[in-house]
Amino acid sequence: MRRASLRRRIAVAFLGLALFAGVLGGLLAVLFAYTTEDHIFDRLLDLEAVHLRQAGVEAPALPAPALPFARYFRDAELPGFLRDSLEAEPGRRELFGDDGRHYHFRRVESDGAAPVWIVLQVEDYLVVRPVISEITALLALVVLGIILIAAVVGLYLAHRVTGPLRSLAAEVTVLEPNELPTHWKGRYPPDEVGGLADTLSDAFGRIQRFIDREQRFTQDASHELRTPLAVVESCAAMLADQPDPAQADALVARIRSAATAMHLSVDALLALAREDDSAFAGRRTAVLPIVERAVVNHSALLDGKPVALTVSVDPDWRIAGDAAALQVLVANLVSNAFRYTERGEIRIERDGDDLLVIDTGVGIDEALRPEVTKPSVKGGASPGLGLGLSIVERLCRRYRWRFDLTSSPEGTRARLTLG
């Protein structure tokens, strides 16, 4: 189905309005001319009525009219064509006669005397009616000129008005799914088109953020679930060959802990993928169980290393926030400390409202420190995808926590402000 051009519709509407206004104006001009002419004759009848009353109407013979085209008649003397017309229409005050004659008349009442009719024969004094054809032709030419001017102006205005809209439509038509624009604010005039462009810009921005969240969710899930899955796989393999019930129970406990960590990680990543996090408002989370779970799940990273681990976290410490998000934060920081510390010590401790993870590892490459929380930024020795600290940074923004990282060749200090 072919779409109607908005520019053409605006031009046609403008032209139609101009045509209507021109025709209506012409009709009003003719009506005004006719009305003005009739008012002049009514005024002449008023003057004749004053003259008649001043001259007196009691005498058998009526006085001579003041105007040469006026005549006086008593009821009985009224010409037949006038009498017949008045009998058919008693309220009539104007009459077209034969041979182009035209009459205006009025009945004048006087006390103690019979009524008198004043009749003006005005065909020789008409102004509008003799030139009505010329007036009509002139008005038709004027209306035609108005239509032509309106057509030109209408097309110009339609082009100007729809120009931004056509430009916006052209930009939308060539959009690619992977190149959604978010920079239209302020580019278009501050009118309805500008409002539409701003709304589209906001909508495309939300769509782009949704796409980004979906892509990050895939990357984050692969990153966060890798370690728990490795724990589950290794423990399951060891469990199959483990005859000692006590050892078997310990392996089962590790599998359960890893499964819980995966569950919490998925919850946290889904929270990052959502626009709204109101579902987690008002929750209180104990910190120590999450720290312990992270230590257990990543303890294999310390196997064979001369590293002393100290955990000093108040068991009664609870924070306002989601356990799944805190699980991901702590697991990333603990796994980094365990992986990159070859000797020395690792301390996980509380400092007021802050959780500290301090290690004596190799530290972060100085060239990477300014961008270490960006996606895919990692050191050469890192086996991961470079997403861990990026996830930490985004979760902190989401839950209004604060993350601070300082590093040197002597070690790294990660500080989570959770209050």
CB atoms within 10 A of CB 130: 12
Higher per-residue confidence, 305 vs 216: 305
Consecutive H or E run containing 73: strand 70-74
Amino acid at residue number 386 = G
Report pLDDT digits (tens) over 107-147.
Answer: 888 776 778 899 999 988 888 877 878 888 888 888 888 88
Percent of the chain with pLDDT over 90: 16
Q: Check if the beta carbon of residue 318 is closer than 8 Å to that of residue 278.
A: no
Residue 358 DSSP one-character state = E
Strands 344-351 and 307-312: parallel
b/e sequence 159-180, b meaning 16+ C-beta within 10 Å: eebbebbeebeeeeeeeeeeeb
* CATH 3.30.565.10 placement within the chain: 214-417
Residue among 311, 385, 307 nearest 341 (CA): 307
The stretch 89-102 carries a mean pLDDT of 86
According to the model, what pLDDT value does residue 360 have? 92
Query: What CATH code would you report for 214-417?
Result: 3.30.565.10
378-416 pLDDT, tens digit each: 444 444 333 457 777 777 887 788 888 888 888 889 898
Q: Residue 380: its pLDDT value, please?
A: 42
Tokens of 399: 């839950």
Confidence of residue 345 (pLDDT cuts 50, 70, 90): very high
The residue type found at 333 is L
- The model's pTM: 0.43
Sole residue written with tokens 């004048």: 108
Tell me the β-bridge partners of 371.
Answer: none
Q: Tell me whether residue 325 is exposed, middle or buried, using C-beta atoms within 10 angstroms of its C-beta: 0 to 12, 13 to 18, 19 or more.
A: buried
For residue 232 the two structure tokens come to: 């589950």
Task: Report which of 274, 343, 266, 256 is spatially closest to residue 305, judged by C-alpha positions.
Answer: 343
* Inter-residue long-range contacts of 192-197, CB under 8 Å, 24+ positions, other chains counted: 193/164, 193/165, 193/168, 194/164, 196/165, 196/168, 197/164, 197/168
For 101, the 3-state DSSP assignment is: coil
pLDDT value for 132: 79
- What is the pLDDT, as a whole number, of residue 384? 39
The alpha carbon dihedral of 331, 332, 334, 339 has a sign of positive
